[in-house]
Structure 1
Amino acid sequence: MNRVPAVAVAERAGVGVDGTARPSEDVVAVLPNAVVLLDGATTLRPGLRGGGWYASRLAGELAGRLMGYPSMDLADLLAAAIRAVARDNDLLPGESPSSTVALARWDGDVVEGLVLADSPVVAVTTEGVRVLADDRIATLPRPGPGYRERLRGGEGYGDDHVAALRTSAASFGRLRNTEGGFWVAEADPDAAYEACRATWPRAEVRQVLLASDGVSCGVDDYRIFPDWAAVAALATSDGPDAVLDAVRQAEEDDPDGTRWPRPKPHDDQALAIIEF
């Protein structure tokens, strides 16, 4: 008989692009049959609602559908949730806030994962670690010198950095939810069908981790963890907050973004660990 999975969540707010404190834009929802982790994109356009505002509403729509329709295809479910948020809030494609999506859902036989944009789902199985990641944002060409070169050159954070971020965001915005670009939850339900998917036999799954990029950067960018097995091991031995601590300490040791150029000194962090 399958036992009920235990879920542990660690969350920590980062800072805004101006370096000031503000509430986290990551959202985690824990349900009897699923975990949802969303990372609302920081808004750089004046007058546009925040990514955290969008993520909280999308999380509500997803939670209701995951509970009410436990066997509904995950892409169909996500598309319906995106459509509902857009309809109820008069959101238009290309002119709206957005969020990544990481979903894990299970029943007696399988564990499913869905990822849209850069919030991975990682399954620790009897056959090894399986990483479900959407790397389309990471592989896009970077136009112009950009904010990363400024930071590498030692110019640090400040007004000029924010201006460079706005320029970069404008360029990337044209690639959002387009072929050859990247896909994210926003106001176009069809983006749900571009998500990365995986299914694992439940009997083989030991743990599932869901992370926002404020945590996954410790593996993908900073390399303070050699792989996701190391993340899972630390979380198991010391708890998920220890993972957040390690990433935050790396950023504290690079306060001006010279070693690891990044939009903000500290991003929001969210990590959920499901123990099967």
Structure 2
Amino acid sequence: MPEIAIAERAGVGADGHPRPTEDHVVVLDNAVLVLDGATSSEPSQPPGGWYAERLARRLAEDLHVAPEADLTEVLTSAIAALTAEHRLQPQRSPSSTVAAVRWLEDRVDALVLADSPVVGFGGFGVDVVSDDRLARLRRRGMLQTGADVRRRRNAHDGFWVAEADPGAAAHSVRRSWPRADVEAVLLASDGVSIGVDQYELFDWREVLAVSRADGPDAVLAAVRTAEKQDPDGERWPRPKRHDDQALVVVDFESGVIQGLP
């Protein structure tokens, strides 16, 4: 069992007021999941945190039963089950990113759907497993309105995310590394990865180094400090001052779980 260190902080809503985090972290015997929920624009639908929590629970149950199952197939099945159980409708339902890491005797597998990256460190260097389709669309100004997001969600000219379309799982970004080559793996929600990708506070090697030296919450604190220095988003335009944050460090050098309640 690797050492697993976890840090989480709630962000604020679009209105700037505190609210419960919509990020969810699950630790299994041989896997870690990070999900970041997004609320539908339909006011009658439950929030993104509701969806992320239930999808995380279903994924955990399925991986507990079949710990070596194909990750894409597990995700497909979980989305389908949740969609049927709650009668969710494509383009009108809450959604969630998915980042998963699973270790077996011979390899470490990673899966990413939407913008919660996984970063592997080892004999292969630094391997960032990321899905940048959302970021590319934002840079091109193609997600200006709620209608834009709905039109491009789970569409071939758009981006893919866990929602009410099980076929989205097939568009996940996957990676497998020989277990003997893996030193550590990070999983992050975009409230953390923004510190690397947009704020450029550190690179991923530095994120790992800070996490090992001071704990992963030190990384979250650095991102929050930068955001407090840019409260109105003038330097770094963003939809809300502070997003939810989740960072998990899976370190294959020892075996203590830190940060769990």
Structure 1-normalised TM-score? 0.89
Displacement, 1:126?
A: 2.1
Match of 2:131 among 109, 112, 134: 134
1:69 aligned to 2:45?
A: no
Does the 8 A contact of 2:41 with 2:92 survive in 1? no
Letter of the 2:205 counterpart? A
What is the alpha-carbon distance in structure 2 between the residues aligned to residue 88 and residue 181 of structure 1? 26
Letter of the 2:107 counterpart? V
Q: Aligned residue for 2:259? A: none
Q: Aligned residue for 2:173? A: 196
What is the alpha-carbon distance in structure 2 between the residues aligned to residue 257 and residue 102 of structure 1? 27
Give 4+ residue runs of structure 1 displaced > 2 Å after superposition.
Answer: 42-45
What is the alpha-carbon distance in structure 1 between the residues aligned to residue 125 and residue 215 of structure 2? 21
- Offset from partner CA, 1:197-254 (integer Å, 9 cap, x none): 00001111111100000000000011111x2111111111110000000000000000
Give the aligned CA root-mean-square deviation in angstroms: 1.1
Match of 2:209 among 207, 230, 233: 233
Letter of the 1:70 counterpart? P
- Correspondence 1:265-276 to 2 at 5 A: 265-276=241-252
SS in 2 for 1:137: helix
Match of 1:208 among 167, 175, 185: 185
1:224 aligned to 2:201?
A: yes
SS in 2 for 1:49: coil
Q: Aligned residue for 1:150? A: none
Displacement, 1:172?
A: 1.6
- Correspondence 1:167-178 to 2 at 5 A: 168-178=145-155
Q: Aligned residue for 2:42? A: 45
What is the alpha-carbon distance in structure 2 between the residues aligned to residue 267 and residue 108 of structure 1? 36
Does the 8 A contact of 2:42 with 2:92 survive in 1? no
1:24 aligned to 2:1?
A: no
- Offset from partner CA, 1:138-181 (integer Å, 9 cap, x none): 1112149x5xxxxxxxxxxxxxxxxxxxxx22212210001010
Q: Aligned residue for 1:78? A: 75
**Percent identical across equivalent pairs?**
57
SS in 1 for 2:11: coil
Does the 8 A contact of 2:39 with 2:46 survive in 1? no
Aligned length: 250
Displacement, 1:43?
A: 3.8
Displacement, 1:262?
A: 0.5
